[in-house]
Amino acid sequence: MPAVFPFQALQYNHGKGDVTKQVAPPYDVLDKSRKQALIDGDAHNIVAIDLPHTPAKELGPPSAYKAAGESLCNWLTEGVLTKNEKPAIFAYRQTFTFRGKDYQRCGMACTVETQPLGPREGGGILPHEQTFSGPKEDRLALMKATATQLSPIFGLHPDQNGSASELVRTIMESRKPDMTATITESDGQDVLHEVWTVEDDKTINAYRDALAGEDVFIADGHHRYNTAVNYLESLEKEGDVPADHPARRTMFVMVSMSDPGLAIGPTHRVLGGMKEYTHEKFIEASAGYLQIDPVVNDPKQIEEEMTKAATKSKEVFGLIDFATGLCWVASCVDEDPLSEKFSDKPQAWRELDVAIVQHLIVEEICKPELNEGEDIKWAFPHSVEEVMAIGSGSETGAGGGSGFAQIAVIVRPTPLDAVRDICLAGELMPQKSTFFYPKLATGLFINPLS
């Protein structure tokens, strides 16, 4: 693994006590109304800087980023945020309920050597899905304006002997947390965030040794990591960047792949904007590709219906037609439907639900047969409730735009083993393939880059 380092974080309240009103979910799950609600709770909430304009899926006006940089400077001058005197790493625990089960996900916030994505001797930083250009432009403009990394990257590492996970949990069991916050996720569930500051060299070195030689798999934050690499490159174009320059290190929260608190949810697809779409035409165009069977017309039961169908078929999808409310369960006619088109891809990639949706349902059925070969509009909600909200015309922050939705494709969570296997094979999943729940908080620790 790339070298792990402590860092002099910027923090609220000197890293002590409850900071619920100051921290926020990451920018990419927030819309304008949720941003305003956070600012109404506290004008110094980090969202005022981290989300200078909405939507953050595209580059905003220069004035928005300039204002964010000025606000950060003012907050530092006023003491709203302070820089820690001593470099530290931070044990970080999230306690939550997801899909009916209770979890505690434990990791460590630290900085990692900034390097291009890809394999490397001694451990590389590996992506697992493709990215969009708009968010990277937005994040780079914000990083240049603030000279900080506001949100950590969520990284996974193998930790096959469990030594890193054991060390993290030992720290948490030794004393009460230094800092706490409770954040409401987009699904309405509250998540408790707890932070333990670790400054002693012995523990820091032990954690560094536990991760030596391991790869880092980016679980969430691909756009933000690409931004960190691009920011460093922009500095290097302007002149010499010393070996100890803060921009040469990127803030991660590292979580062991063996951590029992890891929870992966689905990222469904809502498709729309098709000129020729009706559910009858979709079913007709799917002949030979999909076996489509009607189920009870209740979206709340569709995942249960998919579970039943999965006992007979390997790839199973739920389908919801918004115009009629009709529901189906679909399975692939061919056992390996992407094998001919993607014979060079590993089987784990070809079996991904999200790959089949993109390359079979969208590219072979919807795009040529229902939209005259033109691109389809997408949204990427994480719950059936959010799917139905999009279908009703609501803006949820999942993309797509209001009123575009025609059909939803409900998918199952991507298995963690598939993420690891595909990363190691050097392949990329389609965009929005995984949803690691919950999101890391923004504002618990901020990484200064100057």
Q: Which of 54-63, 294-303, 334-343, 418-427 has the lowest mean pLDDT?
A: 418-427
Write the burial class of residue 57 (CB in 10 Å: 0-12 exposed, 13-18 middle, 19+ buried).
middle
DSSP 376: P
pTM reported for the whole predicted model: 0.84
Residue 62's Cβ-count burial label (10 Å; 0-12, 13-18, 19+) is: exposed
Residue 187 confidence (pLDDT) above 90: no
Q: What percent of the chain has pLDDT over 70?
A: 98
Give me the phi and psi of 379, to 5 degrees please.
Answer: -140, 155
**Tokens 């506001």 — which residue?**
150
Amino acid code (one letter) for 439: K
Residue 413 DSSP one-character state: P
Per-residue pLDDT tens digits for 233-291:
999 999 999 999 999 999 999 999 889 899 989 999 999 999 999 999 999 999 999 99
Strands 153-157 and 249-256: parallel
Cα(22)–Cα(33) distance, rounded to whole angstroms?
17
Whole-angstrom distance, CA of residue 143 vs CA of residue 224:
10
Nearest to 127 by CA among 221, 214, 57: 221
- Rounded Cα distance, 286 and 42, in Å: 51
76-109 burial, b if ≥16 CB within 10 A, otherwise e?
eeeebbeebeeebbbbbbbbbebeeeebebbbbb
